Amino acid sequence: MRDAGTVLADILAVAMGVVLLALCASAYSDGVHGLLVELFCAVVCFVPAVCRRVGIVSLPGTITFLIALAVFLHAFGLLSGAYDDVSYFDTITHTLSSAVVGLLVFYALITIQHFGGGRVNFEGRGLAVLTALIALTFSVYWEVMEYATDMFTGSVTQYSPYDTLTDLVCDSVGTFLASLWSGAYMRGRTVADAIGELQLGARLRKVASREE
């Protein structure tokens, strides 16, 4: 039985996905690239709710909402021009997106540990530190990808070295917040407890444990 918060998070996430799908017609005027970004972000909004519905994995409602909000704001910023016109919009999206990446890294790490057969152990401070390091690595590669996209497509996603540095600072803040949350979340919990709350489906458990 899902709690009211989880149901609300799923509804909001799906609603954001529907709004992005409705905006796809406008995105097409910006070219195929803009349309693909809108479609991708819309699909991501649906993924957590669909995965919960079909019994693959049940992320906490807060995480579901944050994932949808991060991709929604990114897509909306590209389509509406908010990245250029609204002060600190880029700061908000980078911080939020990095926090979401950090949270997903955290869940990936505890899943690896739980099904790793005792070969790895991320518990304690090591889990929070490793979550931060891996998430920051993703942030750096994101900036590299933006630079490559600008070079080969003529887009303008990186305006200056100052802009890139600001993005990385925001990424660090988001990652730090995710790392703090992961440490607080695991207080009083074991990795087995956290995995149990995810309600992994049978097929996903089989894949994670590498069963034949």
For residue 195, which of 178, 175, 184, 209 has the smallest C-alpha distance?
209
What's the confidence (pLDDT) of residue 28?
Answer: 59
Q: What is the mean pLDDT of residues 58-71?
A: 94
The answer, yes or no, to whether residue 85 has pLDDT greater than 70, is yes
105 and 129 Cβ atoms separated by less than 8 Å: no
Q: What b/e string do you get for 66-80 counting C-beta neighbours within 10 Å, with b at 16 or more? A: bbbbbbbbbbbbbbe
Quick: pLDDT tens for 99-131.
Answer: 999 999 999 999 888 888 767 777 667 788 888
**Most confident of the ranges 6-15, 17-26, 75-84, 136-145:** 6-15
Amino acid letter for position 43:
V
What is the H or E stretch that residue 11 is in?
A: helix 4-22
Q: How many CB atoms lie within 10 A of CB 124?
A: 10
Which of 154-158's residues contact partners 24+ apart within 8 Å by CB, and which partners? 155/33
> What are the residues whose beta carbons fall under 8 Å from the beta carbon of 116, sequence distance 6 or more?
none
Tell me the per-residue pLDDT of 123-154, one tens digit each, with 9 for 90 and over: 667 788 888 899 999 888 888 887 787 777 76
| Averaged pLDDT score across all residues of the chain | 84
